[in-house]
Amino acid sequence: EMVNEKDDSQRKKKESIVDLSKFLDKKVRVKFQGGREATGVLKGYDQLLNLVLDGAVEHLRDAEDPTIIGDETRNLGLIVARGTAITVVAPSDGMEQIPNPFQNAEE
Amino acid sequence: LQLPLSLLRTAQNHPMLVELKNGETYNGHLQSCDTWMNIHLRDVIFTSKDGERFFKMPEVYVRGSTIKYLRIPETVVDMVKNEVQEVRRHQKDMHKQKKSYGGPGRGGQSNRGGRGGGNAGRGGGSGRGGHTNNK
């Protein structure tokens, strides 16, 4: 609910800066503190960024190097993702892999 | 003296690079940000930590707490200076307006105490001529 109970710095803004309603019923990719990643259909959310994901799938990482997201996955089903642990949210559709877009070679 | 968050707010609609604590980088245009430095980027290129893989995505939401740093175009830095000046000037104007009323809470017009209220004490003509002499 958008109620002006207290001021937010100088402005009265109760909404979060991203409107998750446009992602409802769409697949989203969520990254977590600690490096875990999951995708799922966004069924619900709240101000604190807690998310309800349906048919969620965790993308497992390499045993050797946990920074690499491999192909293995594990099914999580219907989950609530805790907002406090979420680091990144992005729509899964519209995400495509591309070759190096930067002119200069990456270091 | 400039605040980091005001720099960020000024940078809205500008492209920037965000590196997260986990080493991943996001290049995109800043759609919006908030007091916790959470940001919403549009037209994003995501580069994996090893710099090998690249993904394009229409938008991302990034938690402020997970940001390591942001790279912002230099042109934005100049814009901030102007914006900060304008905000300060605006605040000063508001302040001036309040003073000229003479503090409505203290019964500005019939100011017998003669202490408060900018006009009554100093205004001279308008202050005294205005109300009846209750001596």
**B58 CA to chain A: closest CA distance, Å?**
6
Q: Tens place of pLDDT for every residue, chain A, 107 residues?
A: 455 444 444 445 567 888 899 999 999 999 999 889 999 999 999 999 999 999 999 988 765 555 556 678 899 999 999 999 999 999 998 888 888 888 665 44
**Secondary structure (3-state) at A25:** coil
What is this structure's pTM?
A: 0.70
- Tell me the one-letter amino acid at A43: K
**B7 CA to chain A: closest CA distance, Å?**
15
The phi, psi pair for B65, rounded to 5°, reads -65, -15
Q: Do A17 and B33 touch (CB under 8 A)?
A: yes
Q: A26 and A91 in contact (C-beta within 8 Å)?
A: yes
Angle A54-A55-A59 (CA atoms, 0-180°, nearest 5)? 115
DSSP summary character for residue A106:
P
**Secondary structure (3-state) at B94:** helix
Predicted complex ipTM exceeds 0.90: no
**How many whole angstroms separate alpha carbon A74 and alpha carbon A86?**
19
Q: Do B51 and A90 touch (CB under 8 A)?
A: no
